[in-house]
């Protein structure tokens, strides 16, 4: 007998759009929650228009974070649709929204009103800079990376800040929002009371900068751009092999000794400048120069095959196709396949959470705009106590 999904029976009203909130709600949907995605009838989620690339008639950006959901189109400026939205809030277990603070209040759907309608509701707000003095600031990922300090440590050289290649802060916020909601649900199960979960992108970024941030709060150290180097360990950077870039990520003295063995240069491990990690960090330029000369003599694949059995963390800089190939060769399952509206397979990226008893499921394609509006509005307009959904029958 198949075990019920961990979040089966949980109804999530998803008023979020773009990335942070939709990523969080997709994580919950993969674990069995019934997520109703509320969208504007004319435009839908902003990311539906963010392309190219496109696949199956939709932006791949939109497709990346919206599987296992149902799409309900509502115009919150219209009285009838506001009434339906209010009824959805009354019936939901969880509400997500990532509008600017005050927007949901304008439609009569802010936290205080929602709590009065549904005291058990877990209400999650994702903002850029919090509900206080930064409430009016736009919460775009690139902006947060800049003002939040990430770009001050990311780049090739001092004075050349670079953003990350994906909206990493949005993803961090989405993960933190999902964790916060699960904690609030645990509290609700024990007490019967919902609460307001608030997550802002700036705080998530500062928390996510872990050792760099703690170096400042604890020691007053303001880090700068180190390129691909690490502020506290060496060698931990990108080198040029004979054919392509190669990462060497040595985390301790034992690994450094093994690296020197693999390079046929045991004298480096005995050099007083490089014998300890602190010494290697202090003399990182001299070390990198010598390692670089040695590593240029073989291909990245040759070094990987030679150094990995010695316990030296290293590997080539892969593109995404090579990264997916690596994951599959290692026995991982990085793809999640659902059936597209036209009946063809749709390959999405798998949920990374592994659960031995109740693994994530991939049941439905990211919904077309308004695909489920008729069935959901009929339910909201009726006195039916619970929705009829694919999840409720498991």
Half-sphere exposure of residue 147: CA atoms within 13 angstroms, side-chain side: 13
Supply φ then ψ for residue 136, to 5 degrees. -85, -5
Q: Which residues are catalytically annotated?
A: 170
Q: How far apart are CA 220 and CA 207, in angstroms?
A: 16
Q: Please, what is the angle between helix 201-208 and helix 210-219, to 10°?
A: 80
Structure-block tokens of residue 152: 């001050």
Which of these, 222, 32, 196, 200, lies nearest to 115 by C-alpha position?
196
**Residue environment code for 209-220, b if the CB has 16+ CB neighbours within 10 A, otherwise e:** beebbebeeeee
CA 58 to chain centre: 21
Of residues 35, 57, 203, the one with CA closest to residue 130: 203
Contact 347, 320 (CB under 8 A): no
């Amino acid at each position: 007998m198949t075990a019920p999904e961990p979040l089966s029976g949980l109804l999530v009203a998803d008023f979020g759009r773009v990335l942070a909130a939709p990523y969080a709600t997709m994580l919950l949907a993969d674990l069995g929650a019934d997520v109703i995605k509320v969208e504007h009838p004319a435009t839908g989620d902003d990311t539906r228009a963010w392309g190219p690339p496109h696949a199956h008639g939709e932006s791949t950006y939109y497709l990346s974070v919206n599987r296992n959901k149902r799409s309900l189109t509502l115009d919150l400026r219209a009285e009838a649709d506001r009434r339906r939205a209010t009824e959805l809030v009354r019936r939901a277990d969880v509400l997500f929204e990532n509008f600017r603070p005050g927007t949901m209040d304008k439609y009569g759907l802010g936290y205080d009103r929602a709590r009065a309608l549904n005291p058990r509701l877990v209400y999650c707000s994702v903002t850029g800079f919090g509900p206080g003095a930064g409430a009016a600031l736009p919460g775009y990922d690139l902006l947060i990376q800049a003002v939040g300090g990430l770009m001050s440590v990311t780049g090739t050289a001092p004075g050349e800040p670079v953003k990350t290649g994906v909206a990493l802060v949005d993803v961090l916020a989405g993960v933190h929002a999902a964790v916060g909601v699960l904690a609030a649900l645990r509290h609700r199960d024990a007490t019967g009371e919902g609460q307001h979960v608030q997550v802002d992108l700036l705080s998530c970024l500062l928390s996510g900068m872990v050792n760099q941030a703690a170096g400042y709060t604890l020691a007053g150290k303001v880090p700068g751009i180190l390129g691909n180097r690490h502020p506290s360990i060496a060698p931990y950077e990108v080198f040029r092999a004979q054919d392509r870039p190669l990462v060497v990520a040595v985390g301790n003295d034992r690994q450094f000794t093994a690296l020197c063995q693999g390079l046929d240069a045991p004298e480096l491990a005995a050099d007083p400048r490089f014998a300890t990690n602190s010494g290697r960090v202090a003399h990182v330029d001299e070390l990198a120069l010598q390692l670089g000369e040695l590593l240029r003599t073989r291909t990245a694949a040759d070094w990987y095959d030679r150094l990995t059995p010695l316990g030296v963390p290293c590997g080539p800089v892969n593109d995404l196709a090579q990264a997916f190939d690596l994951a599959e060769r290692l026995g991982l399952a990085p793809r999640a396949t659902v059936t597209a509206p036209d009946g063809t397979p749709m390959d999405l990226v798998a949920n990374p959470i592994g659960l031995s008893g109740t693994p994530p499921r991939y049941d439905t394609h990211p919904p077309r705009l308004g695909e489920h509006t008729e069935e959901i509005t009929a339910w909201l307009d009726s006195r039916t106590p619970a929705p009829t959904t694919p999840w409720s029958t498991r």
